[in-house]
A = this chain, B = another copy of it.
């Protein structure tokens, strides 16, 4: 079978199985994203390892295609979350998001440090473990909240705001750690240079992206789409142009700003969400996202994680790190927003919404591996931590948020 035929089978299987798993998950009262993540785990190396079956001789190319489609999927998913964001409500919870993000970065950092040192890791590794634990990736949370119809709630808005701030703070912490301890090739901005210099460069890049690109050029997003719609007489021009803008903003966020690509697409979503062009593009983007790219993203997480590693020699330290990763985020972010006046239940919801580490923690871990700060053993532990924190998030969120029908569009 040639490459294309194998890909057709794999993509068809992913689409059918993820929708079945998602629907089944809903039927037992869980968000569909939980079922899709679990299905990925079953298909991946943890159980079936189906891409390693002899029939898939073009495994390598298929993996490249799936991984890239998955990345496009999560970028589009966060754009959709941005479209749903209520900017006015976001401004109201701005301070809470800031303090929540601070707590959600500080406590996991010191928590990771505090678990790793007693287990005999050296200071450098312990610091890096703490750094990975600071990461938050809210794509799973965003999807769960969309399903629970709570993305525009006060807590949902706070979580998304805190996630953007967390991303910025995370990249600062990571770059400092790499600058202080990194030995390998310059994986992150400023590796090897002085911490002060590093901080300056990071700050400059972030400012350039946020101020110039996202906000100033952001004003052009709507006129460009309007112009394309009116002047370019060709099929699906608005859909294609929107996708192009989403990809360009995601690129700029990571390449210019040094933050995550999904932060860029999320911000573009927020900007476009304030305009009336939103309604023309939302359903189109949902179709492209949920019919093809997002199922591949959810399934692909399981295809790249090996749950069996959990049962290896590092079981005890892994369990401790997972526990601290989850609890430190809930308590750190939760206490942070509680200080600004959130009620205990609201604070718990925000804290749980920040638990999922997702691809950001994986990216940070691979930077650590590449730059020599951590070894393969710690890397595996970080992958397990990411996997478990990602899997429990939809379940925990489902527990603390009211059922969809009971929630109004709050804020």
Q: Which of B15, B75, B254, B286 is close to A235, meaning CB atoms less than 8 Å apart? A: B286
A407 within 8 Å of B by Cβ? no
Give the CA-CA distance A15 to B354 in the complex, in Å.
34
Q: Please provide the 7 A-B residue pairs with the shortest distance between their CB atoms, ordered closest to farther.
A: A239-B291, A236-B290, A23-B232, A22-B234, A235-B290, A12-B247, A15-B244
Does B287 lie within 8 Å of A248, measured CB to CB? Answer: no
Question: Can you report 19 A-B residue pairs in the complex whose CB atoms are below 8 A from each other?
Answer: A3-B68, A4-B68, A5-B261, A8-B75, A9-B247, A11-B244, A12-B245, A15-B240, A15-B241, A26-B233, A32-B235, A61-B68, A65-B68, A236-B286, A236-B290, A239-B290, A239-B291, A287-B287, A288-B288
Asked if A19 is at the interface (CB within 8 A of a chain B CB), the reply is yes
Chain A contact surface mostly: helix
B contact residues around A286 at 8 Å (CB): 235-236
CA distance A5 to B253 in the complex (A): 10
Q: Does A358 contact B (CB under 8 A)?
A: no
CA distance A176 to B75 in the complex (A): 48
Q: Using CB atoms and an 8 Å cutoff, list the residues of chain A in contact with chain B.
A: 1, 3-5, 7-9, 11-13, 15-16, 18-20, 22-23, 26-27, 32, 61, 64-65, 68-69, 71-72, 75, 228, 231-237, 239-245, 247-248, 250-251, 254-255, 261, 284, 286-292, 295
Q: Is the CB of A16 within 8 A of B241?
A: yes
Contacting A4 at CB < 8 Å: which of B9, B18, B261? B261
How far apart are A298's CB and chain B's nearest CB, in angstroms? 11
B292 touches A243 (CB 8 A): yes
Query: How many Å from the CB of A283 to the closest CB on chain B?
Result: 8
CB distance from A129 to the nearest CB of B (A): 23
Closest Cβ–Cβ distance, residue A384 to chain B (whole Å): 24
> Complex: how many Å from CA A3 to CA B8?
23
Cα(A295)–Cα(B235), bound, Å? 10
- Please measure, in the bound complex, the distance between the C-alpha atom of A242 and the C-alpha atom of B290, giving whole angstroms: 12
| Bound CA span A245–B64, Å | 23
Task: Given the known inter-chain contacts A8-B248, A15-B244, A22-B234, please indicate yes or no for A239 contacting B287, CB distance below 8 A.
Answer: yes
* Min C-beta distance of A146 to chain B, whole Å: 8
Chain B CB within 10 Å, residue with most, of A7, A68, A261, A295: A68
* Least CB separation from A27: chain B residue: B233
Q: Are B68 and A7 in contact (CB under 8 A)?
A: yes
Complex Cα spacing A284 to B68, Å: 22
CB distance from A268 to the nearest CB of B (A): 12
A231 neighbours in B (Cβ, 8 Å): 23
Pairwise interchain contact A251-B12, C-beta atoms closer than 8 A: yes
Residues of B within 8 A of A61 (CB): 64, 68
Given A231-B23, A286-B235: A12 in contact with B248 (beta carbons within 8 A): yes
Kindly state the separation between the CA atoms of A244 and B289 in the bound complex, as whole angstroms: 15
Residues of B within 8 A of A11 (CB): 72, 243-244, 247
7 further contact pairs, Cβ within 8 A, besides A4-B71, A239-B292, A240-B291: A5-B251, A7-B68, A8-B247, A12-B247, A15-B244, A16-B241, A65-B65
**Closest B residue to A7 using CB positions:** B68
Cα distance, A242 to B245, chains bound together (Å): 27
User: A255 to B241, alpha carbons, bound, how many Å?
Assistant: 36
Chain B residues with CB below 8 A from A290, complex form: 235-236, 239-240
Distance between Cα atoms of A288 and B293 in the complex (Å): 10
Q: How far is the CA of A22 from the CA of B228 in the complex (A)?
A: 12
Please indicate the chain B residues that have their CB under 8 angstroms from the CB of A1 in the complex: 255
